[in-house]
Structure 1
């Protein structure tokens, strides 16, 4: 079900990445800190895999009961050390593992692409009703989109990760949106990096308009699906 899942953390690779950041003056991290970062990554990756497995199981059960898969596909990602350092700098945070985990909640992430609009809320309900899943944050941009036209449901949930040293409740960010919303978001993301193009503003206005039209089309397609 999940299309792309981050490979297991490799301490040597992470050490090389952080050493490169040190050389560029973006971070000053000692070897013991590198090991702590690696351990942190392993915990967050485990949490990401835990949520992905839950979603895969829920999707399979829903298909068995209702002959419909709410999930079209999923993508997983872990923020790179460079991205995390940049985020901490932007927030003016001390560059330590504890500060990072106390203030940044999208270290591990999943993007869940659904077939229909109602499936977004089905996935949310099925996942968040599980006893070991706790919702930390919820931002609903489906019915109330951003000014750009962006639509999606954003959740930050925690799940328990069982380690040899004990249980660690770990956050995972989940973005849930339809195939159409994801196609739109990918194009809008590309447009954001074309700000020097004279056509960017024109296209931004078009995308904002198309977002509403696309939402109407998806609601109509959903109505046909429900009628069948």
Structure 2
């Protein structure tokens, strides 16, 4: 891939600097770029729609230990080259939303960014993992402008609801506690909890839609009353009907 070659070229340009530090510098820079874009999108959405689709933004760089374990688990030798080539989630951003509708809205907004390239998408909401895991994953590359070059660097973006994130955090703890071999009854109950989380998200979204509908009806009623007040006090009762008919055309 082009981005992998660019990182290798960047490493050769910094032969006097530790290769690991150089790679981590690039991934940290990518996190800053993506994080800034997401904050701007969130603020723009608040400005236009009076609503924030993002509840929280979490970022992290994968630890050296986690990278080495993942390489070995997938049958690769431990090297900077393999790390860059085969580990896509070294730089990770997690977006936490209130509702499932926010997830797809944000994914569309991210995909429309002209200087972000979407490399792959994994929709674990429509197609949950066997464990019950749900989340929306986007692998993107972002250009990092250095003093003498531009390096496209990969960032994994995970988008979840608050409920999905709570469930995933517990699954993560169980996975590492039992090294992927949790007792059958724990796995079964965890999957049952995933179904509860899904039902909760559906109910919360439905409730939010009902609240928005009520708010819209209230606004419409207030506007109707306001029009009547103007007609009554400014034009007088005799001209009121004509004014209302005109206003509601």
The bucket for the TM-score relative to the shorter chain is: 0.7 to 0.9
TM-score (norm 2): 0.73
Q: For structure 1, list consecutive stretches of 5 or more residues without a partner in the other structure.
A: 1-31
Q: Which structure shows the bigger proportion of residues in helix conformation?
A: 2
Cα–Cα, structure 1 residues 110 and 65, in superposed 2: closer, same or farther, change >3 Å?
same
What do you get for the CA RMSD once the two structures are aligned? 2.3
| Alignment-derived partner of residue 7 in structure 1 | none
1:85, distance to aligned residue in structure 2 (A): 2.4
Q: Distance in 1 between matches of 2:48 and 2:189?
A: 41
| Alignment-derived partner of residue 124 in structure 2 | 141
TM-score (norm 1): 0.79
Worse overlay, 95-104 or 149-158:
95-104
Worse overlay, 119-128 or 34-43:
34-43
Q: For structure 2, list consecutive stretches of 5 or more residues without a partner in the other structure.
A: 1-14, 213-249
SS at match of 1:176: strand
Q: Distance in 2 between matches of 1:103 and 1:161?
A: 20
Determine if the alignment matches structure 1 residue 130 to structure 2 residue 117. Answer: no
- Of 62, 65, 73, the residue aligned with 1:79 is 62
What is the CA deviation profile of residues 192-221 of structure 1, one whole-angstrom value per residue up to 9, with x for unaligned ones? Answer: 24449xx94223212212212221221121
- Asked whether the 8 Å contact 1:191–1:204 carries over to 2, the reply is no
SS at match of 1:159: strand
Determine if the alignment matches structure 1 residue 69 to structure 2 residue 52. Answer: yes
- Asked whether the 8 Å contact 1:158–1:171 carries over to 2, the reply is yes
- Of 5, 12, 23, the residue aligned with 1:40 is 23
Q: Distance in 2 between matches of 1:188 and 1:95?
A: 27
What is the CA deviation profile of residues 149-200 of structure 1, one whole-angstrom value per residue up to 9, with x for unaligned ones? Answer: 110011110011111121111100111100000011111222224449xx94
Larger Rg: 2
Q: Distance in 2 between matches of 1:82 and 1:129?
A: 35
| Alignment-derived partner of residue 108 in structure 1 | 91
Worse overlay, 74-83 or 119-128:
74-83
- Of 167, 170, 174, the residue aligned with 2:157 is 174
Determine if the alignment matches structure 1 residue 190 to structure 2 residue 173. Answer: yes
- Of 104, 108, 111, the residue aligned with 1:121 is 104
Q: Distance in 1 between matches of 2:69 and 2:45?
A: 40
Count residues in correspondence.
Answer: 197
SS at match of 1:54: helix
What is the CA deviation profile of residues 12-57 of structure 1, one whole-angstrom value per residue up to 9, with x for unaligned ones? Answer: xxxxxxxxxxxxxxxxxxxx68712111110111001111111111
1:120, distance to aligned residue in structure 2 (A): 0.7
| Alignment-derived partner of residue 96 in structure 1 | 79
